Amino acid sequence: MKLIGRRLIQMILILIVASIILFIIFDSDTFKMRIALAELGNFGVSAMDPDDYKAWLVKKGLDIPFYQRFALWVGNVLQGDLGWSFEKNTAVGPLLWAALKNTGILAFWVFALMVPLSLILGVLAGMREGSRLDRSISFISVFTTSIPEIATAIILTVIFALGLKWLPTKSAMISGFDGWQLMLPVMTLVLYDFGYVARMTRASMAEVMTSQYIRTAVLKGLPYRRVILRHALRNALIAPFTVIVLQLNWLLSGVVVVEVFFEYKGFGKLLLEAALFGDIYVVQACTLVAVIVAVTSQIISDIGYTFLNPRIRFA
Amino acid sequence: MADITIEPAAPSILAQLTRTRIIALLMALVWLPLSAYVISGVTPGGSADYMLLPSIPAVILLYLIAFRAWRESWVAVLGLSLVCFWLLVAVSVPFLPLFDPNKPIAPFQIPFATKGENFYLLGTDYKGRDILSRTLWGCQRVIVWGVTATLVAYMVGMLFGLLAGYLSGWWDEIISFLGNVLLSFPVMVLFIVILNYLGPSGFNIIVAVTFASAPAIMRIVRGLALDIKTRDYVFAAQTRGESPLWIMFVELLPNVRGPIIVDACLRLGYTTVAITTLTFLGLGLQPPDPDWGLMIRESAKTAMLFKFSYMLIVPALSVSSLILGFNLMADGLREMSLRD
- The Cα A215–Cα B184 span in angstroms is 41
Q: pLDDT at position A41, please?
A: 67
A11 touches chain B (CB under 8 A): yes
- What pLDDT does residue B309 have? 80
One domain for residues A67 and A117: no
User: What is the SS3 assignment for chain B?
Assistant: CHHHHHCCCCCCHHHHHHHCHHHHHHHHHHHHHHHHHHHCCCCCCCHHHHHHCCHHHHHHHHHHHHHHHHCCCHHHHHHHHHHHHHHHHHHHHHHCCCCCCCCCCCCCCCCCEEECCEEECCCECCCCCEHHHHHHHHHHHHHHHHHHHHHHHHHHHHHHHHHHHHHCHHHHHHHHHHHHHHHCCCHHHHHHHHHHHHCCCHHHHHHHHHHHHHHHHHHHHHHHHHHHCCCHHHHHHHHHCCCHHHHHHHHHHHHCHHHHHHHHHHHHHHHHHHHHHHHHHCCCCCCCCCCHHHHHHHHCCCCCCHHHCHHHHHHHHHHHHHHHHHHHHHHHHHHHHHHC
Answer yes or no: do B188 and A283 touch at CB < 8 A.
Answer: no
Highest mean pLDDT pick, A201-215, B111-125, B207-221: B207-221
Q: Are residues A122 and A264 in the same domain?
A: yes
A195, A145 in Cβ contact below 8 A?
Answer: yes
| A14, A18, A260: residue with CB nearest B281 | A260
Q: Which of B57, B32, B137 is nearest to B94 (CA)?
A: B137
Instruction: Output the pLDDT for position B6.
Output: 42
A241's enclosing H/E stretch is helix A238-262
> Is the model's pLDDT at A6 over the cut of 80?
no
Are A70 and A16 in a shared domain?
Answer: yes
- Specify the CATH number for the domain of residue A99: 1.10.3720.10
Instruction: Give per-residue pLDDT as tens, A247-272.
Output: 888 888 788 889 888 888 888 888 88
Region B133-151: mean pLDDT is 89
Residue ranges covered by each domain of chain B: 101-339
pLDDT of residue B2: 41
Residues A100 and A73 in one domain: no
Distance CA B326, CA B76 (A): 9
Query: Does a structural domain hold residue A313?
Result: no
Residue A291 lies in a domain: no
Whole-number mean pLDDT of chain B? 81
Among A79, A106, A131, give the residue marking a domain's end. Answer: A79
Beta bridge mates, B124: B130
Residues A217, A137: one domain?
yes
The whole-model pTM stands at 0.85
Interface of A with B in 280-309 (CB under 8 A): 283, 286-287, 290-291, 293-295, 298
pLDDT at B337 over 80: no
Residue B42 has pLDDT above 80, yes or no: no
Residue A294 domain flag: no
- Higher pLDDT among residues A107 and A37, named by residue: A107
Cα separation of the two ends of chain B: 17
Residue ranges making up the domain that contains A64? 2-79
Per-residue pLDDT, A312: 61
Instruction: Please tell me what DSSP assigns to residue A159.
Output: I
Predicted confidence (pLDDT) per residue in A267-310, tens digit: 888 888 888 877 778 888 888 888 888 888 888 887 777 777 76
Tell whether A144 is within 8 A of chain B (Cβ): no
Asked if the structure places residue A280 within a domain, the reply is no
| Residue A242, in any domain of the structure | yes
Residue A293 domain-assigned (yes or no) = no
Q: For residues A150 and A106, state if they share a domain.
A: yes
Using one digit for the tens of pLDDT, what is the confidence trace for B251-308? 787 777 777 888 888 899 989 988 898 888 888 887 777 888 888 888 887 777 777 7
Cβ distance A275 to B281 less than 8 Å, yes or no, reads: no
Pairing label, strands B118-120, B113-115: antiparallel
Q: How many domains does chain A have?
A: 2
In chain A, the residue whose alpha carbon lies closest to the alpha carbon of B281 is: A257
> CB distance from B296 to chain A under 8 Å?
yes
Q: How far apart are CA A83 and CA A73, in angstroms?
A: 7
- Indicate if the pLDDT at residue B105 is higher than 80: no
Kindly provide the b/e burial profile for residues A65-88, where b requires at least 16 CB atoms within 10 angstroms of the residue's own CB. ebeebbeebeeebeeeebbbbbbe
Task: Please report which confidence band the pLDDT of residue B322 belongs to, taking 50, 70 and 90 as the band edges.
Answer: very high
B8: pLDDT strictly greater than 60: no
3-state secondary structure of A119: helix
- Domain co-membership, A171 together with A101: yes
- Check B185 against A294: CB less than 8 A apart: yes
CA geometry: angle A193, A197, A202, nearest 5 deg: 140
Distance of CA B314 to the CA centre of its chain: 20
Q: Given A37, A55, A79, which residue is the final one in a domain?
A: A79
Cβ–Cβ < 8 Å for B299, A157: no
Residues on chain A touching B313 (C-beta within 8 angstroms): 154-155, 158
Residues A69, A120 within the same domain: no
For residue A65, being part of any structural domain is answered with yes
Residue B19 clears pLDDT 60, i.e. is over it: no
Q: Are residues A180 and A32 in the same domain?
A: no
CB within 8 Å: A143 and B186: no
Q: Does B332 touch chain A (CB under 8 A)?
A: no
- B305 with A268: Cβ contact below 8 A: no
Q: What is the CATH number of domain B101-339?
A: 1.10.3720.10
Contacts of B184 in chain A (CB under 8 A): 11, 14, 18, 291, 294-295, 298
Rounded Cα–Cα distance for residues A177 and B39 (Å): 47
Q: Which of A41-55, A133-147, B68-82, B219-233 is predicted least confidently?
A: A41-55
Q: Are residues A32 and A175 in the same domain?
A: no
Domain limit, last residue, from A50, A79, A108: A79
Residues A114 and A251 in one domain: yes
Q: Do A142 and A189 lie in a common domain?
A: yes
Does residue B156 surpass a pLDDT of 90? yes
- Residue-level pLDDT at B15: 57
Percent of the residues in chain A that have a pLDDT greater than 90, as a whole number: 5
